[in-house]
Amino acid sequence: MEYNFLEIEKRWQKFWADHKTFKAEDNSVKPKYYVLDMFPYPSGAGLHVGHPLGYIASDIVARYKRHKGFNVLHPMGYDSFGLPAEQYAIQTGQHPSVTTTQNIARYREQLDKIGFSFDWDREVKTSDPQYYKWTQWIFIQIFNSWYDKSADKAQPISSLIAEFEKNGNGSVNAVCDDDIKTFSSEDWKQFSEKEKSDVLMRYRLAYLGEAYVNWCPALGTVLANDEVKDGVSERGGHPVERKLMKQWSMRITAYAQRLLDGLEKIDWTESLKESQRYWIGRSEGTSLRFKIQGHPDIEVFTTRPDTIFGVSFVTIAPEHDLVNAITTPAQKQAVEEYVIKTKNRSERERQADVNTVSGVFTGAYVIHPFSAQQIPVWIGDYVLAGYGTGAVMAVPGHDERDYKFAKHFNLPIPEVVAGGDLSKEAYAAKEGILINSDFLNGLSVKEAIKKAIEKIEEKKIGHGKVNFRLRDAVFGRQRYWGEPIPIYYVNDIPHALNENELPLVLPEVDKYLPTEDGEPPLARAAENWKKDGKYNYEASTMPGWAGSSWYFLRYMDPHNGSEFADRKLMDYWQNIDLYIGGSEHATGHLLYVRFWTKFLNDMGFIGVDEPAKKLINQGMIQGRSNFVYSLVGSSLFISYDIIKKYTDAPHSREELKKLIQARFPDIEPAALDSLRIQKLHVDVNIVENDVLQKENFKKWRDDLGNATFMDEEDKYICGVEIEKMSKSKYNVVSPDDISERFGADTLRLYEMFLGPLEQSKPWNTNGITGVSGFLKKLWRLFASTPLSVTPSTPLSVTPSTPLSVTPSTPLSNTASLNVTEAEPTKAELKTLHKTIKKITEDIERFSFNTSVSNFMICVNELTDAKCNKRAILEPLLICLSPYAPHITEELWHLLGHKESIVFEKFPEVNESYLVDDAFTYPISFNGKMRFNIELPATLTVPEIEKEVMGREEVQKYLEGKTPKKIIIVPKKIVNIVV
RNA sequence: GCUCCCGUGGUGGAACAGGUAGACACGCAGGACUUAAAAUCCUGUAGCUUCACGGCUGUACCGGUUCGAUUCCGGUCGGGAGUACCA
């Protein structure tokens, strides 16, 4: 009987699908467990071996938890809106939905071959109108809300309107735009409809507002901060510039503090929490107003109010509102030139040379609030318009950037905190004693900060303030392939659609490009794409992160047509117990999904305020590229080991020439003469253990048919480098190929065996024979005949057995196996229970690589013991089934079971089998090992001490001296300190 | 620059709470079976030293705490990830 994995895996995958084995129950008395993978964007390239890594881990946990008696929710879906499908559409004219559907089908086919236990009935696709109907609905809820600081939660906008009508906005404590004028209830009632709408817009959590955004001209759209890396777009790498635009945004800043606090109670990795903390960027400081003759005050934010007497100038951003107003006629030209210059610099240039100091004097002066001195106002692009107030009080003595600026423009650098050497550099440390600072003199920095805030508040020129680095999230995208924003305009006033008008379905367009006058592609929609036939819809669409910000909830009730999900179901499933995905989503998706969860919780739609209790970032699997070395001008390929030997020094190159000439006399003289060697990527699929398969290589490309090889012992060795897995590098390994050659179970085990889940590592197929051999060994434990007298009769197990065989009538029967009903020995029970214990611990702490090792140890021991007893093998199968579901299911049925192994209870550890009769203690003196003593394992610590001290060898070593201390670590060691 | 993570054999990696470092696997070497190959099985495999028993050195480097450190603390070097004029 052979282990025919291809036939077995296909058959069981079909069985599970037909029987809906992995259906999650909505009404269950069992405890729930929700394991979720970050759903993929279905790209055209299909899956490579790196993609399923996290899915395999989550699948193991899901299957394990089922064995442990949990009702498991383990769904999968697709984040199917996105840029690549749209760009493909622009090039080919093919509708993105067509490409997306094809890609999804391909993904599904590949996923199915790995034997995942997903409940496919719950599949969601963000581009499905029945899904994005509810994305739009949630958008409307956010649009119809404002953030009440007093209650510290979102509230319906109707409550704000009621307050305006009653009392105006005087006592409203909201997170909103910061330059809203105060109005009374009478004022409010006088406002026109448009004015009312504008005012409300400044309070809404989803709002249309003017803001500096990341504009990407090449993509023709705005991008969120997390979609921009190093000044270029994350997708495509196009330059990005700052642009003032009217855009839909989300007031995520309202949730900054709660997003920060929430991190404390969730089990995510420290590094991930750290990057979210950094992204949110809370800083405590003081807001402070400087008076300026004839103009509104200039407000600054500082974390160092203690250095107030060290201020020698004030710097404002080039985009600051007051730039034009305060500039004196004499400076007007210089300022204008500077402002235009900085505006034209792309964000990337601006970031690239952060060390170049630039700025210009406005000619204006502010008055120092305490010393009453005149302080010059400068413009500098090191001050960012978007952070704080866009203005800083410059303290060159104690801030590096101010220091550089002052040095460059020869401005005074007063010292107000003792401890540094200001002739060399700024002293920015927050320690030291204040000097030259009037009422702050002699205080420590900490005390001075407190005192300065007191004085500032006393003078009513400012107050203590917390600032966040986090900016509101731009929500509109000038793209086609996204959710339409459910807004229409009547006389330029935006209105949200009603629930019964959803979904607002994405209209057909003739082209997927912006219109000639720069409107987003949706503006190309036919004339009749209008609300009630006359009102224009919003033409921008939602960003990629909209659909993924709540999908974990939709899985709980994916087909609900009347709500985004039923509250009862959401209360049962709560939130994700284990979430697995890449760390690249740390400051994007993972922040937005927390934001929406908190919002939905505020509004009472859901009962949880964090989406995931535990999160694991799986590492990236890199590609392992192979190279061949061609002699330019010839068809000769030289093996890497020869290249390595002969290319370092010039004289060895001469030797190489001679060598080539000796072995290949017919070589083209010109090629030999120049001896240029070109390194070329070679498809890793025609390389085995870094040895080139020459025949396949010749067939790989047409021009290689007459390739000749120079190598040693007929082995052409390829060069190796670790790179990102990509088609162009010919280093993509497809999971399909691995499954075909070794089986899906082997693929699953090997991906886990490769190393810790969270670590990035290169894919290397070389080691796979280890796990493949392990499964064969396991099979032989059941099917071989090491003990039996008569070999098992070979049943009709031809590999071509048709799939129609229903697994409830097993392919063959127990007779074909060689498993006995004999009583297991103590040693066999120990092997089994040791394994159960280790595996349980391994899974509970997500250490999948060690658990694979532990299975191998177990099977090795059982093979050595020639153990083929049912009482040992059956529990082992259950333990292994989360990892290698197909082979275990097959053997389980061959053992005569009718039910799927999926529903079996996970075996419990019986500790009594693990207790040894005797235990060997290493005895050390002062930490140095000397010898071992065997003692009964049941002894208590004092008994061990007594026994050890009674031994002749110990006494001999002590030579009559009394030990100072005896340290006994039960089951480990006895250390005697002399 | 800042923040976080990590440095263990030829390789991937184990060592979970400070207690016999190198489990397990790959690779390599030798052997068995075979006409041969594949497959399978057995033995060895950190370094130095010893005929051998054994001994010594070893977890990037330097130092500390401890009877005992891969593990804890301080410093240095090297690698990776995130982030970047955030006042």
pLDDT band at A838 (very low <50, low <70, confident <90, very high): very high
Nucleotide nearest to A231 (CA to C1'): B84
Question: For residues A437 and A805, which has the higher predicted lDDT (pLDDT)?
Answer: A437
Please report, rounded to whole angstroms, the spatial distance between the CA atom of protein residue A738 and the C1' atom of nucleotide B84.
42
Coil, helix or strand at residue A927: coil
At residue A350, does pLDDT exceed 80? no
Give Cα separations from A3 to A8, A15, A778, A833, A882 (angstroms). Answer: 8, 19, 10, 26, 19
At residue A387, does pLDDT exceed 90? no
Give Cα separations from A194 to A126, A201, A536, A881 (angstroms). Answer: 34, 10, 17, 64
pLDDT score at A785: 47
Per CA to C1' distance, which residue is closest to B20? A922
Minimal CA–CA distance to A863: which of A773, A952, A738, A728?
Answer: A773
> Mean of the pLDDT values across residues A954-962?
80
For residue A612, give the DSSP letter: B
Q: Are A692 and A718 in contact (CB under 8 A)?
A: yes
Nucleotide nearest to A229 (CA to C1'): B83
Query: What is the C-alpha separation between A3 and A784, in angstroms, rounded?
Result: 11
Kindly report the bases of strand B lying within 7 A of a protein C-beta atom: 3-5, 12-16, 19-20, 23-28, 39-42, 67-69, 80-87
Q: Are A78 and A125 in contact (CB under 8 A)?
A: yes
Nucleotide nearest to A837 (CA to C1'): B16
pLDDT score at A793: 31
Tokens matching residue A454: 């007191």
Nucleotide nearest to A856 (CA to C1'): B24
Per CA to C1' distance, which residue is closest to B11? A767
> Mean of the pLDDT values across residues A489-512?
93
Alpha helices in A425-502 (DSSP H): 445-458
The owner of tokens 């989300």 is A250
Tokens matching residue A105: 């089908």
Please report, rounded to whole angstroms, the spatial distance between the CA atom of protein residue A595 and the C1' atom of nucleotide B73.
39
What are the residues facing A953 on neighbouring strands? none
**Lowest model confidence (mean pLDDT) among A516-525, A648-657, A704-713, A892-901:** A648-657
pLDDT score at A650: 62
Q: What percent of chain A has pLDDT over 90?
A: 55
At residue A710, does pLDDT exceed 90? no
Q: Are A148 and A169 in contact (CB under 8 A)?
A: no
At residue A874, does pLDDT exceed 90? yes
Nucleotide nearest to A926 (CA to C1'): B67
Residue A968 host element (H or E): strand A965-969
What are the residues facing A820 on neighbouring strands? A869
> Mean of the pLDDT values across residues A508-524?
87
Coil, helix or strand at residue A50: coil
Q: Convert the pLDDT of each residue in A738-771 to its tens digit.
A: 999 999 999 999 999 999 999 888 888 888 999 9
pLDDT band at A53 (very low <50, low <70, confident <90, very high): very high
Three-state helix/strand/coil letters over A699-743? HHCHHHCCCEEECECCECECEEEEECCCHHHCCCCCHHHHHHHHC
Burial zone of A635 (CB within 10 Å; 0-12 exposed, 13-18 middle, 19+ buried): middle
The owner of tokens 């008008």 is A501
Residue partners of A344: CB distance under 8 A and separation at least 6? none
Give Cα separations from A558 to A77, A126, A584, A604 (angstroms). Answer: 11, 11, 27, 20
Neighbours of A233 (CB within 10 A): 19
Per CA to C1' distance, which residue is closest to B13? A755
Number of H-type helices and E-type strands within chain A: 32, 36
pLDDT score at A384: 86
Residue A285 host element (H or E): strand A282-292
Please report, rounded to whole angstroms, the spatial distance between the CA atom of protein residue A715 and the C1' atom of nucleotide B37.
17
Query: What is the C-alpha separation between A126 and A542, in angstroms, rounded?
Result: 11
- One DSSP character per residue, A375-442 reads EEEEEETTS-TTSTTSEEEE-GGG-HHHHHHHHHHT------BTTS-TTTS----S-SBB-S-GGGTT
**Lowest model confidence (mean pLDDT) among A192-201, A276-285, A591-600, A961-970:** A961-970
HSE-up (13 A, CA, CB side) for residue A427: 20
- One DSSP character per residue, A305-330 reads GGGGGG--EEEE-TT-TTHHHH--GG
- One DSSP character per residue, A144-164 reads TEEEETTTTEEEEHHHHHHHH
Please report, rounded to whole angstroms, the spatial distance between the CA atom of protein residue A624 and the C1' atom of nucleotide B77.
28
HSE-up (13 A, CA, CB side) for residue A100: 23
At residue A813, does pLDDT exceed 70? no
pLDDT score at A933: 83
Please report, rounded to whole angstroms, the spatial distance between the CA atom of protein residue A328 and the C1' atom of nucleotide B86.
29
At residue A274, does pLDDT exceed 90? no
User: Is the link from the previous residue into A318 a cis peptide, with omega within 30 of 0?
Assistant: no
Q: How far apart are the first and last CA of chain A?
A: 63
At residue A946, does pLDDT exceed 80? yes
Tell me the ipTM for this assembly: 0.94
- Average pLDDT, whole number, for chain A? 88
Please report, rounded to whole angstroms, the spatial distance between the CA atom of protein residue A688 and the C1' atom of nucleotide B20.
39
The phi, psi pair for A122, rounded to 5°, reads: -105, 10
